[in-house]
Amino acid sequence: MATSRLVIDALVGPDGQGRYRLETNDVQSQNPRGSTFQSLLHLFCNITNVPTDVYVFQKDGLNVQYGTFVYVPPTPPGGWDSVTPFPIRY
């Protein structure tokens, strides 16, 4: 419930079409992509030490794709030659 209230509090609007959106956070040192929730994600990941990996998928040394455990790129014919996980630490 606390997170839901935080999201509602971060809404701005309505715009000319009656729509709301999340506010933009311009503190680039803490939120380089403009989202206040980037700081919360960082805090959550530090507290929980959630295991997060980015995977590099390679085929024939030329076809390189990136993904995660959940978002795997489409498998090419014959499968991937290698899949390398890179752990992300916050």
Cα gap 63→78, rounded to integer Å: 13
CA distances from 72 to 14, 25, 52 (A): 37, 30, 14
pTM, to two decimals: 0.56
Could you read off the pLDDT of 21-74 as tens digits, one per residue? 999 988 878 788 888 888 888 888 889 988 889 999 999 888 899 998 888 899
At 43 the pLDDT is 86
pLDDT for residue 90 is more than 70: no
- Residue 12 phi, psi dihedral angles, 5° rounding: -125, 155
pLDDT for residue 83 is more than 90: yes
